Amino acid sequence: MSRSVRTRPEGSGQALSEAYDTALLDLDGVVYAGGNAIEHAVPSLAVARDGGMRLAYVTNNALRTPDAVAAHLTELGIPAEAGDVITSAQAVARLIADQVPQGSRVLVVGGEGLRVALRERGLEPVESADDEPVAVVQGYGGPELAWGRFAEASYAVARGLPWFASNTDLTIPSGRGIAPGNGAAVEVVRIATGAEPRVAGKPLPPMHRETILRTGAERPLVVGDRLDTDIEGAFNGGVDSLLVLTGVTDGAQLLAAPPQHRPTYVDADLRGLLTGQPEVVGDGGAFRCGGWTAAAGAGRLELDGDGAPVDGLRALCAAAWTAAGDEVCGLEAGKALARLGL
């Protein structure tokens, strides 16, 4: 699919919650971290929902069931039902079910979310490579997942069984910092076997397909904190995206983003759903947003002005993305980002 290269974040005269009918919200790093709600998330989502926007929670984390995720959200003050939650476990279960006979046994390396999703598709989860599985599926199993589970997966994959992964996120946010994600666990089996899994989760098409099938969204907005899953997934699906700076992506990573990782909109947190987005205006090689002006020159990014830090970041994005073209920006941006506290 041919797409123009984004060279600046876009503006919106409407609140995003009015411009789009459905928010496809990532969870870890967007709504909560380590089980606790991220600041401003609960009231922002309440206002968006009360204004008529549908909220759907789309996560690459395959550990918990949709029922468990919905219950957790409700406990945090965000009313949700299982049907509001779409997981990579559901996406990978559909992918497997499309390729193996009904009732087939599938070796599971992961949590309850994977097992429930497989049963929903008429497949039987098993625990051992000796239980005659016809496929192997691997998903995030939490910090307590036993090392022996990787051995079971390796035995089965080495025998030639097709191998599937819910997602390959290398990291996952937690209340204590950034922890290894399912992608790190997938690497263990890849190293042991030399095989490559088929992957369902963001940013790949099976997850986008699962999300649209389950939500029926007509004007979706992907909301996420990761460039290589949430934002790239939106790019691959041809839909708009909002990056929030409450998770793993920092200012330097955003400025260096290649075209497929550049979000439509950028904001500090989920309050960005409730407002319009300021336009970034080009002016003779410089870019203005709010009270800030940014330009690329002499091998670095220059920033002048004052105002909301995220406005300065939007202006810097325009300067960096324009200077870099299709390449990752190599401009020195440390001083400019330090001025913004990012």
Catalytic residues: 26, 28
Q: Helix or strand or coil: residue 87?
A: strand
Neighbours of 195 (CB within 10 A): 16
Give the integer Cα–Cα distance in Å for 288 and 34: 36
Which ranges of 7-87 would DSSP assign to H, the alpha helix?
16-19, 41-50, 66-75
The span from the CA of 35 to the CA of 15, in Å, is 28
Task: Name the residue among 62, 112, 69, 119 with its Cα closest to residue 96.
Answer: 119
C-alpha of 35 from chain center: 17
In angstroms, rounded to a whole number, what is the distance separating the alpha carbons of residues 142 and 214? 26
From CA 21, how far away is CA 19, in angstroms rounded?
7
3-class state of residue 9 by DSSP: coil
CA distances from 259 to 3, 7, 63, 270, 311 (A): 9, 8, 31, 23, 20
User: Beta-strand (E) ranges in 195-305?
Assistant: 198-199, 220-224, 240-244, 265-267, 281-283, 286-289, 292-297, 300-305
Cβ atoms of 137 and 108 within 8 Å: the answer is: yes
Q: Which two tokens stand for residue 113?
A: 């979310």
The neighbour count for residue 114, using CB atoms within 10 Å, is: 29
What is the SS3 assignment for 171-196? EEEECCEEEECHHHHHHHHHHHHCCC
